[in-house]
Amino acid sequence: MLDLAKYQSIGAALKDALGQFAGEICLIEADREREKERLRYREFQDRADPWARALQEAGFNANDRAAMIMTNQSKWLISAYAIFYCGGVLVPLDYKLTPEEQWQLLKHSSASVLVTEYPIWRQLTASPSRASATNLKTILVTEAPPRADLSGARRWEEFSSSGEPAFIPRQRKDVATIVYSSGTGGRPKGCMMTHENYLEQCVALTSIYPFAPGVRYLSILPTNHAIDFMVGFFGPFICGAAVVHLRTLRPEYVREAFPKYKITYVSLVPLVLKNLQKGLQARFDALPSAKRKLFNALVAVNKALTKSRPRLALSRRLLKQVHQAFGGELRAIIVGGAFTEPQTLQFFYDLGIPVANGYGLTEAGTAVTVNDLKPFRADTVGKPLPGMDVRILSPAADGVGEVSVRSKTVMSGYLNESELTAETIVNGWLMTGDLGRFDSTGHLQLFGRKKNMIVTEEGKNIYPEDVEAAFESLPVKESCIFAANYVWPQRTMVGEQLLLVLHLEQGQTLTDELRRDISARNNRLLNYKRVHGLVLFTEDFPRTASLKIKRNILAGRLAQQDRAAAILPL
């Protein structure tokens, strides 16, 4: 691994890594059963340099912003490397957003370059919102069919220029990326992450979960997500490890990839991990009685022998078939993006497959705490990573209060949102809005949220304000959306739901027609953004002088109703 203390920027570290590990495999890309590409670091550089040179010739300068909307693939990392090499700021956007949302963020970020895939570009060009992103100068599109109408874009594959690109150095405090943690509907939250944020986070994470040449990381979480950017790009690259990309994320191809590529690490969101658990449990349950008894006995032995720490070699021998299904070299599954239920973590640990769970948020530079497995504690989200100061603000009698974080990994602020930044980072401490407490051994336990938002099992942060636009013109007096647990705190991080609060006109009732209207609007939202219930409120919403809803006061009034009785199914 490179000594990152010596480096000022992501670009400088990656440049040296490509030289130091030139002969090692860095990328494998597969589409279904077909392997499309296998690159060594040297070949990666051969691809990236002409692209970086072309980018510079297109007028891309230091501190210019380049957005990326792509599924995980080699071209994502090659483009990102070139952008950092040129001293640019990377704006990785979620390819699952709607074209309108993507245009909104392209405009908000003032990106001058967009790198995307042809099918995504086709959808973007069909959207009337295109006119809004006036700053865009260069659009590069991958895998466009021959003779396709590129609508002003250029082909990624033909974007190349000979000659050495000039390396543009950046400083640690310079912004490296703008990562949108949420806010596509109302107020985009573009976290400005510095080079220092990534360099420090990488040192902390690799001290617990090391990468090295020969290690193969299966990149399934979108690379625009802070976790995969770190453990599916920057982390492995500065250690000479390899990243495996699958272009088709059907469960059967993901399953095949483990033994085929002898995967060492993978990151998953809780939803996928739970699905994996369900599949394995079904297979165990289907074993003939005698075999099942033997299997359960082996699991019990493994559990006893790994009580104080994981013993991978031993677990692989004891539970050979299970480990072979995962390729036989899996060291840990990294889970992130949302809270994972303890029983799921325990299920895998008992099989000898440690799950590296933790707690983090984009604003803090990915991970704040990580389970160090010494010993494994399924009931907590682990201990703070090296370099993280974590404290509990205003703890109640039981020790539960708001988690706040101070670290070199904390973002420099939200783009164009100084007021929001000042509310979020107070005297150098990041106010997470999450509720937690430390136990006697220094492990953090989480108990719900103080903030009005939900995180789905797929790792999506949903802020009610971002969903409200879908219900704006409903024929009612007024409406708004709340996270159910914000109104009625439940001290839980799972099963979170959004509620639509309606204040009907005088004499108006909740008719079937109105319900149909609400359902139709709800169904037009992406499935993870949908509301799950209705709450009727009979008074005017409390508002500020500028007519903004005073959400905390309204939540307090709603909370006077009984939760179960107040929530009407949609």
Partner 1 sequence: MRTIDQTTREVLTLASTHFKVPADSLAPDDDFFKKLDINSLQALELLSRLENHFGIELPDYEVQGVSDFRTLASRIQSRL
- Residue closer to partner 1 by CB (options 222, 365) is 222
Tell me the pairing of strands 216-219 and 429-438. Answer: unpaired
- Residue closer to partner 1 by CB (options 32, 292) is 32
Question: Computed from CA positions of residues 295, 345, 250, 266, in that sequence, does the dihedral angle turn out positive or negative?
Answer: negative
Q: How far apart are CA 225 and CA 181, in angstroms?
A: 9
The answer to whether the CB of 326 falls within 8 A of the CB of 353 is yes
Strand partners, 361: 366
- Residue closer to partner 1 by CB (options 143, 505) is 143
Strands (E), 290-365: 332-335, 355-356, 358-361
- Token pair, residue 489, equals 């705190």
Give the nearest distance from C-beta 234 to partner 1 in angstroms: 25
- Residue closer to partner 1 by CB (options 245, 316) is 245
Give the nearest distance from C-beta 232 to partner 1 in angstroms: 17
Give the nearest distance from C-beta 530 to partner 1 in angstroms: 8
Give the nearest distance from C-beta 556 to partner 1 in angstroms: 32
Interface positions with partner 1 (CB under 8 A): 32, 71, 95-96, 98, 117, 119-120, 247-252, 271-272, 275, 457-458, 523, 526-528, 530
- In eight-state DSSP terms, residue 42 is H
- In eight-state DSSP terms, residue 36 is E
Q: How far apart are CA 41 and CA 17, in angstroms?
A: 8
- Residue closer to partner 1 by CB (options 152, 279) is 279
Give the nearest distance from C-beta 338 to partner 1 in angstroms: 13
Give the nearest distance from C-beta 275 to partner 1 in angstroms: 5
Q: How far apart are CA 316 and CA 203, in angstroms?
A: 29
- Residue closer to partner 1 by CB (options 32, 320) is 32
Give the nearest distance from C-beta 51 to partner 1 in angstroms: 22
- Residue closer to partner 1 by CB (options 212, 568) is 568
Give the nearest distance from C-beta 248 to partner 1 in angstroms: 6
Give the nearest distance from C-beta 513 to partner 1 in angstroms: 18
Q: How far apart are CA 328 and CA 87, in angstroms?
A: 40
Q: Where are the alpha helices (DSSP H) in 126-234?
A: 195-208, 226-229
The answer to whether the CB of 336 falls within 8 A of the CB of 459 is yes
Tell me the pairing of strands 366-370 and 383-384. Answer: antiparallel
Type and span of the H or E element at 101:
helix 99-109
Going by C-alpha positions, the residue among 544, 480, 467, 479 that lies closest to residue 508 is 479
For residue 538, give the amino acid letter: T
Q: How far apart are CA 216 and CA 188, in angstroms?
A: 35
Going by C-alpha positions, the residue among 37, 44, 97 that lies closest to residue 69 is 97
- Residue closer to partner 1 by CB (options 61, 519) is 519
Integer angstrom CA distances of residue 489 from 270, 363, 457, 529, 555: 22, 24, 19, 20, 11
- Residue closer to partner 1 by CB (options 417, 457) is 457
- Residue closer to partner 1 by CB (options 458, 468) is 458
Give the nearest distance from C-beta 523 to partner 1 in angstroms: 5
